Amino acid sequence: MTEHHIVLDNIMPVALYGPNNRYLRLLKSLFPKLRIMARNDVIRVLGEEEELTLFCSRIEEIQQYLLLHNTIDEEQLVRIATGKGTSAAETEVIVYNIAGKPIKSRNKNQAEIVKQFSKKDLLFITGPAGTGKTYLSIALAVRALKEKAVRRIILSRPAVEAGEKLGFLPGDMKEKIDPYLQPLYDALLDMLPASRLEEMIEKHTIEIAPLAFMRGRTLNDAVVILDEAQNTTPAQLRMFLTRMGNNTKMIVTGDITQADLPKGQLSGLKHAIPLLKDIEGIAIIGMNNADIVRHKLVTRIVKAYESATANEESKTDEVKKGE
């Protein structure tokens, strides 16, 4: 009789063992020739070599399923354990949220982002609020991490209200900057259990930091996302782009029409797109109002503001002509 220890990798034991160890008992019933004992993240198995090898293989498949889906039910567990594979494999799914629901592209431009991410090392994604720029980018990064294509995810945003104002806010530096980075945390919490996300942040597998913290670094073996890039200066965006290291993909997102920079300051995103658009290895995807995937009112709100802005610009032009 042979003994083998299986250490669960990157999944919570309760996800595999099930509530009150129900899934563990199910696995024991499916492999009656083996003696299976589990404690924390280690499964100890005793039995004949051939049966042990099969069990280890099935547990690895179940772990891979859990890494992708975050959850599993009894039916799917039985399918994998008995060698019938996963049910209804969806090749268009990017990743699954913590409830096990698929996250995938919802329109043509989102599908193009997914396609270009597999081909190019640098993506610029522009478009109005609600088009899923940030959420989809983070989903692609999470998938790359789960598939072990990269070792870490680095997410960044420019804190345009920072500088002197930041010093007047209460708390330490993390407490001061976290409000600017909260949308990134929100997206991650939809795709990763809170305890798992906290652990990955502690181990620096996932890093969320203001743009200023990127200076002087070389970012290797990672998916690096810069959100709200319309609020960078050309010098800041150049600094960020030149952080790219080996086996790294970068995604830069932003809405050129919503820059919060001081009046007269050129947006780094607006400056970079025409400058870099013809460079091999870079993809630029422009999204529009038709791509908005939030509440239907968001589309109407965006259109109303765009119309008001256009009218104001028209009146300004008329006044200048009159002068």
Query: 47-56 pLDDT, tens per residue?
Result: 999 999 999 9
Taking CA atoms, 158 is separated from 69, 162, 270, in Å, by 32, 9, 15
CA dihedral 272, 274, 278, 284 (to 10 degrees): 70
Integer angstrom CA distances of residue 29 from 34, 302, 304, 321: 9, 57, 62, 84
Q: Which of 138, 151, 323, 160 is nearest to 222 (CA)?
A: 151
pLDDT of residue 9: 79
Quote the pLDDT of residue 305. 80
Nearest C-alpha neighbor of 107 from the set 141, 138, 133: 133
What is the rounded distance in angstroms from the CA atom of residue 297 to the CA atom of residue 204? 38
**Which pLDDT band, with edges at 50, 70 and 90, does 162 fall under?**
very low
Burial of 12 (0-12, 13-18, 19+ CB in 10 A): middle
Residue 46, helix vs strand vs coil: strand
pLDDT in tens, 201-214: 999 999 988 888 88
- For position 261, what pLDDT does the model report? 85
pLDDT digits (tens, 9 = 90+) for 54-112: 999 999 999 888 887 888 888 889 989 998 765 544 557 898 888 888 898 888 999 99
What integer pLDDT is reported at residue 292 of this predicted model? 82
pLDDT at 323 over 70: no
Instruction: Please report, as a single letter, which amino acid is at residue 177.
Output: I
pTM of the model: 0.71
Can you give the pLDDT at residue 164?
A: 37
Q: What is the mean pLDDT of residues 106-135?
A: 92
